[in-house]
Amino acid sequence: SHNLQNLPRENFDALRALFEKPSRGAAPKVPFEVISNVVSNMNKMQYAHAFEQVQNYITAGDCYQVNLAQRFSAAATGDGWIAYQKLREISPAPFMAYMRLPNLEVLSASPERFLQLVAQHVETRPIKGTRPRAEDAVQDAKNAEELQSSLKDRAENLMIVDLLRNDISKNCEIGSVKADKLFQLQNFANVHHLVSIITGQLAQGKTALDLLRGCFPGGSITGAPKLRSMQIIAELEPHQRGLYCGAIGYIGFDGNMDTSIVIRTVVYAHDKPGQGKLSFYAGGGIVADSSLEKEYAETLDKASSIMKMVQCFNKTNH
């Protein structure tokens, strides 16, 4: 097993320096601004056409469920760290993450665990099933109750539970994989979700990387069966997803791992220092009895917190 004591001294010193050295000054020098309106890569008519194509594939027997997403984008300048602070305020989530990469900042407010591995215990928590929050408490409770009792949303969730049970079984002890909890209601800043919990015991000789390789990308944001749904997504969505629906997380020296699904996430790509394009996606699982209007509205509900954050910095509206 790996531990810090086994590291060469110079590696340990370099690692410690990363933690001890402040990574940024007290305040960013460049304020953050959004300098254009937000536009989607699919208007409603184009979304409707893609939705119809998915329905045709389902009817033909190619798939049971496909996650169809639209991408929103806007021009921006300044330091994405400021935008991330606002996103934390508007949409706190269990898997918040900020990453600064060369020419790229990632601002994630993901509510969804992809894979966790702790001492050979595997857990995944797929989200499938959504209703918007309402300002009125009575209506909000009604939305939550409607979601919890929706047979359609439970069926969608169960499809993904079955897919993920199969995915983690590839690297788990035979007979150890089970659905611990099904259709648990979780409340977030802008939406209610149904979440299920699937667990297993990692097989002898298998590692976090084996588990990640066997399950990536997450089934909740592709569809079922996974490979065919991914092919359909690649055909119907106008742009490659990039980081969207990938994973952010860590693998420790002890072999433990925790990762999130990259949803409710802004990618700020810089074409020159301090300016570039924001992009963020929102989608939903389409099944045989899905309604076009409801599915389209669901993408807007999921994007609402990031839209709200963007509007806080949008100078074109003032």
Asked about 308 being catalytic, the answer comes back as no
Spatial separation of the C-alpha atoms in residues 295 and 73, rounded to whole Å: 20
Other Cβ atoms less than 10 A from the Cβ of 254: the count is: 14
Nearest to 247 by CA among 152, 53, 51, 106: 106
**Catalytic residue selected from 105, 112, 156, 298:** 112
Residue 99 CA from chain centroid, whole number: 15
Spatial separation of the C-alpha atoms in residues 265 and 305, rounded to whole Å: 10
Asked about 128 being catalytic, the answer comes back as yes
- Decide if 199 contacts 173 (C-beta within 8 A): no
Spatial separation of the C-alpha atoms in residues 202 and 291, rounded to whole Å: 39
**Catalytic residue selected from 10, 21, 123, 128:** 128
Spatial separation of the C-alpha atoms in residues 135 and 146, rounded to whole Å: 16
What dihedral do alpha carbons 76, 78, 82, 84 form, nearest 10°? 40
Q: Which residues are catalytic?
A: 112, 128
